[in-house]
Amino acid sequence: MTRTPQTYDVVVIGGGPVGENAAGRVVRGGLRAALVEAQLVGGECSYWACVPSKALLRPGAAVAAARGVGGAAEAVTGAPDAAAALRRRDGFAAHWDDSGQAEWLAGAGVELVRGRGRLAGPRQVEVTTGDGAVRRLAARHAVVLATGSRPAVPPVPGLADAPFWGTREATAAREVPGSLAVLGGGVSGTELAQAFARLGSRVTVVARSRLLGAFPRPAARLVADALETEGVTVLEGRGTERVRRGGDGIELVLDDGGTVSAQRLLVSTGRRPALDGLGLEELGLDPAALRVDDSGRVAGPQEQWLYAAGDAAGGPLLTHQGKYEARAVGDAVVARAAGRLGDSVPAWSRYASTADACAVPQVVFTDPAVASVGRSAEQARADGLEVDVVEHDIDVAGASLHRDGYRGWARLVVGRRRRTLVGAVFAGPDVTELLHAATVAVVGEVPLERLWHAVPVFPTISEVWLRLLEEYGL
């Protein structure tokens, strides 16, 4: 163990997208930062989540897009090439080599400390390196927890003894299994079901409620219908009673007496913050109930030097939102170190991740996609807002031109008192890029009367905005 700690202004534990951004922001503000990473710089997102999952989806989506356009469809003569798709994915995952990201950190002036970090007292971090050596780091101003999340594995009898994939194994798969059972119909399960189905697997999704239960029913239905049309079996409202080895792989026994057999099982049943083993209990903090304020500062008995951001902080489990929190944390730490920011943080300032509460954008990258931002009507009402809801099928000329037989659906949630948009959902092929306009309108609290003058181009899918505003009465 090194006796004298190396001192930095800020120590960040966890080098995923969130940790990298927090450290980068701190250095940009003129402070010295160390970033502690136990595995690969770039985190889950770069190697086992966002990037490889989107890389696995893209070839199937490109082929389906061409098949959906008469004249182009005739040029598509085969199925996606799974081996080539996996090779392309390998490239996007940088072959699980983080030297490029480590270089980025060095260029940004962040010092990388490889090893597993834990809090060893106020402003103290202990890092155990690969060879078992222990280094001590001290932080003058702040320690930031950016340790991400871990999969939540459900207590299904037999699961612990069965071989199964988590999202890590699925996104890093070396081959496409002949058949795949997916337990969990959330975002990961649905995206990976379509990715593997389009690359050649026979896929069954087992969802204990409905597919994409966190999204509006009509949007989720469009996705479920598309999956079923492509040959995916979607079993909704089905619990799993046990998992056992069987046939050439595994078998799920469902609560309606049915069984699902597959060569591989993917368990994608949610994630929770990775806060175990960080020494939080010794500081009087409960890892299962960490609370952070808008600037990411952890509430508790310690003297306000501890921050958390991204998946570790327990808010939206999304890269872009975590990076947004990291920018707020980094800027708040710099401002507090300079005595420019006190305890309270003004909403919508650069030190606050205000949008986390009311304007989180998310896309389910399936085909059709689901893109949503802001509050649902239920969330808005729970927050004390009176809202109106307008819905419209996406049946505009731009959509029909975009893909033959285009099916899409959109919803706006409008605050009645101020007549501003508080939420929006778009579902359909290639609606992904429609979302940012809605995010700008929600964050900017643009009155609908003014939004009326944001004229969507003819013929684009965005014309659905006009239909929705007309539906609202404009």
Ligand X SMILES: Cc1cc2nc3c(=O)[nH]c(=O)nc-3n(C[C@H](O)[C@H](O)[C@H](O)COP(=O)(O)OP(=O)(O)OC[C@H]3O[C@@H](n4cnc5c(N)ncnc54)[C@H](O)[C@@H]3O)c2cc1C
Q: Which CB atom, from 274 or from 341, has the smaller least distance to ligand X?
A: 274
Q: Which CB atom, from 208 or from 392, has the smaller least distance to ligand NAD?
A: 208
Question: What is the Cα–Cα distance from 88 to 44, expressed in whole angstroms?
Answer: 18
Question: What is the Cα–Cα distance from 317 to 333, expressed in whole angstroms?
Answer: 22
Query: To which H or E segment does residue 198 belong?
Result: helix 187-198
* Contact by Cβ (8 Å): 337, 331: no
Look at residues 204, 152, 145 and name the one whose alpha carbon lies nearest to residue 177.
204
Q: Which CB atom, from 21 or from 269, has the smaller least distance to ligand NAD?
A: 269
* One-letter amino acid of 199: L
Residue 148 assigned to a binding site: yes
Site track 229-248 with ligand NAD (rule: CB under 6 A), x = hit: -----------x--------
From the list 7-15, 69-77, 259-267, 280-288, the region that binds ligand X by CB under 6 A is 7-15
Query: Of these, 8, 47, 324, 365, which contacts ligand NAD (CB under 6 A)?
Result: 365
Could you tell me the CA-to-CA distances from 34 to 42, 107, 114, 334, 379 in Å, in that order? 15, 13, 10, 14, 39
Residue 439 interacting with ligand NAD (CB under 6 A)? no
Residue 209 interacting with ligand NAD (CB under 6 A)? yes
Residue 269 interacting with ligand X (CB under 6 A)? no
* Contact by Cβ (8 Å): 198, 223: no
Residues 6+ apart with CB under 8 A from 285: 298, 300, 301, 302, 306
Residue 258 assigned to a binding site: no
Site track 270-289 with ligand X (rule: CB under 6 A), x = hit: ----x---x-----------
Residue 2 interacting with ligand NAD (CB under 6 A)? no
Residues 6+ apart with CB under 8 A from 295: 307, 328, 329, 332, 341, 345, 351, 352, 353
* Contact by Cβ (8 Å): 426, 434: yes
Residue 148 interacting with ligand X (CB under 6 A)? yes
Question: What is the Cα–Cα distance from 95 to 83, expressed in whole angstroms?
Answer: 15
- Which of ligand NAD, ligand X, none lies near 36, with the C-beta cut-off 5 to 8 A by kind? ligand X
Look at residues 301, 298, 295 and name the one whose alpha carbon lies nearest to residue 333.
295
* Contact by Cβ (8 Å): 365, 353: no
Segment 287 to 326, residues that bind ligand NAD, using CB under 6 A: 317-318
Site track 15-54 with ligand X (rule: CB under 6 A), x = hit: xxxxx----------------xxxx---xxx---xx--xx
- Which of ligand X, ligand NAD, none lies near 186, with the C-beta cut-off 5 to 8 A by kind? ligand NAD
Residue 361 interacting with ligand X (CB under 6 A)? no
Residue 147 interacting with ligand X (CB under 6 A)? yes
**Dihedral, CA of residue 187, residue 191, residue 193 and residue 199, to nearest 10:** -170
Residue 270 interacting with ligand NAD (CB under 6 A)? yes
- Which of ligand X, ligand NAD, none lies near 146, with the C-beta cut-off 5 to 8 A by kind? ligand X
Question: What is the Cα–Cα distance from 428 to 394, expressed in whole angstroms?
Answer: 8
Question: What is the Cα–Cα distance from 191 to 223, expressed in whole angstroms?
Answer: 10
Shortest distance (Å) from residue 183 CB to ligand X = 14
User: What phi and psi values does residue 97 have, to the nearest 5 degrees?
Assistant: -120, 120
From the list 187-195, 300-308, 440-448, 451-459, the region that binds ligand NAD by CB under 6 A is 187-195
The string of DSSP codes covering 375-418 is --HHHHHHTT--EEEEEEE--SHHHHHHSTT---EEEEEEETTT
Q: Which CB atom, from 366 or from 420, has the smaller least distance to ligand X?
A: 366
Residue 240 assigned to a binding site: no
Q: How many CA atoms lie within 13 A of 204 on its CB side?
A: 20
- Which of ligand NAD, ligand X, none lies near 462, with the C-beta cut-off 5 to 8 A by kind? none
* Contact by Cβ (8 Å): 47, 123: no
Residue 184 assigned to a binding site: yes
Residue 191 interacting with ligand NAD (CB under 6 A)? yes
Shortest distance (Å) from residue 445 CB to ligand NAD = 25
* Tokens read off for 431: 């609606």
Q: Which CB atom, from 270 or from 279, has the smaller least distance to ligand NAD?
A: 270
- Which of ligand NAD, ligand X, none lies near 116, with the C-beta cut-off 5 to 8 A by kind? ligand X
Shortest distance (Å) from residue 54 CB to ligand NAD = 8
Residue 66: how many other CB atoms lie within 10 Å: 15
Give the residue ranges of the annotated binding site for FAD: 54, 117, 147-149, 311
Give the residue ranges of the annotated binding site: 54, 117, 147-149, 184-191, 270, 311
Query: What does the binding site for ligand X look like in residue numbers (CB under 6 A)?
Result: 13-19, 36-39, 43-45, 49-50, 53-54, 116-117, 146-149, 167, 171, 188, 274, 278, 310-312, 317-320, 322, 365
Query: What does the binding site for ligand NAD look like in residue numbers (CB under 6 A)?
Result: 154, 183-189, 191, 208-209, 213, 240, 268-271, 317-318, 362-365
